[in-house]
Amino acid sequence: MTTPADRTGRYCIFLHSGSYDRVYQALSITNVVLATGGEVHIFFSYGALKRLVRGNTDSVVIEGEPVFFREDIEKNLGRGTLDTISEMIDTAKRFGRLKIYACTGSMAVLNIARSELIDAVDSSMGLVGFLELVKGADHALYI
């Protein structure tokens, strides 16, 4: 008999964009996968990595969208109808099958030390290491 976990499997997400809407979408996908029994590995690089720096996680920065889009997100965050990115990460971590990785190459380029990152980061690794994880994944996404 096939279980939801068998159908969901392992997702590896390359999260490159730091735009609020894209990070939020990646975490929405993550929480659905986790809620249906799967596991998720997210590799934060460049703009997305900046979200993992303490104090930057929930800032509403939108790339390439009109101003009203950012205003709508801020309004919904204020109303409590939209979770913050920090809350999305906390929810996902409670499932116990999420691993968050900080890209060491991006850390070097952006001059970000491991000690500057939020506690939810499980480890830092290079692209080669993450690609090894991807080999065993059922699904790989680039956001």
pLDDT at 66 over 90: no
- How confident is the model at residue 65, as a pLDDT? 80
Q: What is the DSSP letter of 52?
A: T
pLDDT at 111 over 90: yes
pLDDT number for residue 6? 58
Confidence (pLDDT) at 62 = 86
Q: Write down the pLDDT at residue 85.
A: 96
Whether residue 23 contacts residue 56, with contact meaning beta carbons closer than 8 Å, is answered with no
- Vertex 24: Cα angle to 63 and 41 (nearest 5): 115
Please state, in angstroms and rounded to a whole number, the distance separating the CA atoms of residues 48 and 114. Answer: 15
Q: Which CA distances in Å does 48 have to 54, 78, 106, 142?
A: 13, 23, 10, 12
Q: How far is Cα 36 from Cα 2, in angstroms, rounded to an integer?
A: 13
Contacts of residue 36, Cβ cutoff 8 Å, sequence gap at least 6: 4, 5, 7, 8
pLDDT band at 70, cuts 50/70/90?
confident
pLDDT band at 3 (very low <50, low <70, confident <90, very high): low
Nearest CA among 86, 30, 92 for reference residue 60: 86
